[in-house]
Amino acid sequence: MGATTAHAKDLYCEADLPQYEPMPWSLKEIRDAIPARLFKLIQKLSPIGAEVARWAAWGVYWWFQGLVFTGIWVIGHECGHGAFSENQWVNDILGFITHTFLWTPFFSWRISHHRHHSNHASMERDEVYVPKTRSDLGIPPEKEPFEPLDWDELFGDTPIYTLYMLVRQQLLAFPAYLLFNVSGQKHYPKHTNHFNPNSILFTKSQRGIVMISNAGIALMIWGVWKSCQIWGAADTFKYYGLPWLLVTPLVKIIMITYLHHTDPIMPHYRGKEWNFQRGAAATVDRPFLGWQGRFFLHDVAHFHVIHHFFPKMPFYHGPEGTEYLKAFIGDHYVWSDKPVFKALWDNYNDCQFVEDEGDVLFYRNKEGKAIRRPADQYCLGKSSKKVDQEAPCRSLR
């Protein structure tokens, strides 16, 4: 009886299945049942809105392509120090290609850059960012007893004019340094530059590689001209020219290096007071552009002090090396987290000149004031009597 009942439950009958009737509507009827607005991806932009969006997209491209170009320049910089590869041929070839692509005469720059590292913060021998002195700017010496100078007459520029001069510096300083030795040593001949093989910057044995650098720049001129012929000047400028301009003024060559080497808290030296390690410490680390600076620029701004002490240390060891350096030299290590654009404005205004006398020097601002002074044993006569009356120096920290 039980088996018969189970067998009856297992019987299958098509007539007992649920019935299905195919839908009767057309696709149009289904679509018409849904609000038309739900099929639109985005509301149509006005002509002005579309133009703004287009230029915003270009702006994003220019910014990040400029960062990528800067990272390429930094790799060439590492090659210049021999810190990219143990094989000198690899360093020379890769450095030449990357720097030529970004309009830097690699071998010529490498020679003067090595001299900069070897003599950084020396008033007599450094190659770049050499401070102007009081007499260079035609500022009369302060009289004794103290009679204040008319600093507004000397530096009374409007903020608009100061901004113009700052932008001009950022745009033109590096080409001007290569072409005319701007910010270099004042005792060099008038027409000193990085393209003349007979320049005082180079020895006779170095003239051949200077000419190779020049040939590379000539090849780039031809390449850009050819690109303009094939793709047009406008596209060449949009895809290459503007990102390259970001490399020179805003991202790497000037803004970063200027802020590394120019700050009222950092000393410059004359004569016997200078030595290599004192000069190396006269730089400042900055968290430039945050994660973008670390990722795209290979930590070149974040860990520059250790680079000046040991230029051949690979950049990827900079963070760890800096921790050991900080632990050893203590307060002689300088770091600032001031926003970089504010630091650029402040330092441009606060770093005007140094004194004509003295072996340990600090920048003075547009009122002739410094924020730091050398210890008493490094001061000179009357100058020390004046600075002893000033308020204690401020710190970047």
Q: SS3 for 212-248, per residue?
A: HHHHHHHHHHHHHHHHHHHHCHHHHHHHHHHHHHHHH
The rounded percent of the chain whose pLDDT value lies above 90 is 65
Q: Mean pLDDT check: name the lowest of 137-151, 314-328, 381-395.
A: 381-395
**CA distances to 99, 232, 245 from 241, in Å:** 15, 12, 6
Q: Which long-range contacts (CB under 8 A, 24 or more apart) does 185-191 make?
A: 185/124, 185/125, 185/126, 185/127, 185/130, 186/130, 186/136
**CA distances to 63, 75, 217 from 210, in Å:** 32, 20, 11
* Residue range 76-80: mean pLDDT, rounded: 96
Count Cβ atoms below 10 Å from residue 32 Cβ, excluding itself.
Answer: 11
Q: Which residues pair with 133 in a beta bridge?
A: 354
Averaged pLDDT of the chain: 88
Q: Is the pLDDT of residue 229 over 60?
A: yes
Collapsing DSSP to helix, strand or coil, 122 comes out as strand
pLDDT band with cut points at 50, 70 and 90 for residue 281 = very high
Closest CA to 227 of 217, 218, 237, 213: 237
Computed from CA positions of residues 130, 136, 137, 140, in that sequence, does the dihedral angle turn out positive or negative? positive
Tokens 């020895």, located at residue: 203
Closest CA to 241 of 51, 66, 57, 54: 66
Q: Is the pLDDT of residue 394 over 50?
A: no
Higher pLDDT pick, 108 / 341: 108
174 within 8 A of 253, measured Cβ to Cβ: yes
What residues contact residue 110 under an 8 Å CB cut-off, 6+ apart?
Answer: 80, 95
Q: Is the pLDDT of residue 175 over 90?
A: no
pLDDT at 383: 42
